[in-house]
């Protein structure tokens, strides 16, 4: 999967939040096969462990986010601090408009993207499944766009297949990643079958009883669905088509 000029070995991006321990986090990275993880920035607390060192040990590409930002201004400054900290121009842009749904703000995301592009960032915007939102992001120069499947942390999967399908059909040459709402491996299969390039998830892994096992199942599921899509999926039909031939059927005229 291509993230601007970075080619990932896996189509899975993992969040780095809420793991029971750094060891479990590292195991999940290995089991999932990912080599890109998302990270945030927060106020430095005296004596706190340097999370950057833990992240660097994983040898993964770092994708900083602007999680929790409610204004373009906040998101831009957060991105600038993240760029210096993590030495990358990549930024997963989140400009939220609603605290309870964590719905991304179209107006705020557009404004922040314009400014960040001018400052040389490679923006990966977190958006809804609104086609206008997606095409606007593309027109601003985003090569990777991340629509939600459903609300962040909900685990509901894809609330609206047809809207996501429309985005895929409109943005053929854009890397499309479903960013939020994934709760099961079956959701991953649906996303890849829709033609999306990849997934970004966190909650489904860390809320599993065994995050490592879940991470492994993600990799297996991703491989299985990619193989089946490569093999070719049959066209869906409205009516029944018998798979057994009627030729030679007894009792027929």
Partner 1 sequence: MVKIKLNGEKMALIDNISLYDLVRSNFSLKTSFAVALNGEFVSKSRHRSIIINSDDNIEVVSAHPGG
Interface residues with partner 1 (CB under 8 A) are 15-19, 38-44, 46-48, 50-52, 55, 64-65, 67, 73, 77, 80-82, 84-86, 152, 201-203
Considering the complex, state which of residue 80 and residue 193 has its C-beta at the smaller distance from partner 1: 80
**Closest by Cα among 43, 145, 154, 177 to 102:** 154
Could you say which of 92, 119, 163, 253 is catalytic? Answer: 92
Q: Cα 61 from chain centroid? A: 15
Q: How far is the CB of 237 from partner 1 (least distance, A)?
A: 39
Considering the complex, state which of residue 48 and residue 252 has its C-beta at the smaller distance from partner 1: 48
Q: How far is the CB of 129 from partner 1 (least distance, A)?
A: 19
Q: How far is the CB of 10 from partner 1 (least distance, A)?
A: 17
Considering the complex, state which of residue 82 and residue 176 has its C-beta at the smaller distance from partner 1: 82
Q: Which CA distances in Å does 90 have to 35, 55, 66, 93?
A: 15, 16, 11, 9
Catalytic residue check, 111 = no
Residues 6+ apart with CB under 8 A from 64: 38, 39, 40, 41, 79, 82, 83, 85, 86, 88, 90, 91, 92
Q: Could you say which DSSP state residue 48 is in?
A: -
Catalytically active residues are: 92
């Amino acid at each position: 999967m291509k993230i601007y000029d970075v080619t990932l070995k896996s189509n899975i991006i993992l969040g780095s939040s809420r793991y029971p321990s750094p060891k479990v986090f590292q195991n999940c990275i290995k089991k999932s096969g990912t080599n890109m993880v998302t990270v945030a920035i927060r106020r430095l607390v005296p004596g706190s462990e340097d999370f950057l060192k833990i992240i660097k040990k994983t040898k993964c590409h770092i994708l900083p986010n602007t999680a929790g930002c409610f204004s373009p201004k906040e998101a831009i400054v957060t991105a600038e601090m993240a760029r210096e900290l993590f030495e990358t121009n990549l930024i997963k842009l989140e400009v939220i408009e609603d605290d309870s749904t964590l719905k991304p703000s179209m107006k705020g995301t557009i404004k922040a993207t314009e400014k960040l592009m001018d400052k040389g960032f490679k923006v990966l915007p977190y958006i809804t499944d609104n086609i206008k939102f997606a095409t606007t992001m593309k027109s601003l120069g985003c090569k990777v766009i991340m629509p939600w499947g459903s609300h962040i942390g909900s685990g509901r999967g894809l609330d609206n297949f047809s809207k996501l399908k429309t985005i895929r059909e409109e943005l053929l040459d854009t890397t499309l990643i479903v960013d939020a709402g994934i709760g099961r491996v079956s959701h991953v299969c649906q996303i890849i079958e829709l033609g999306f390039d990849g997934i970004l998830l966190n909650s489904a892994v860390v809320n599993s009883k065994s995050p490592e096992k879940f991470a492994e199942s993600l990799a297996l599921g991703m491989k299985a669905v990619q193989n089946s899509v490569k093999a070719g999926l049959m066209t869906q039909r409205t009516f029944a088509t018998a798979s057994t031939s009627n030729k030679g059927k007894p009792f027929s005229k």
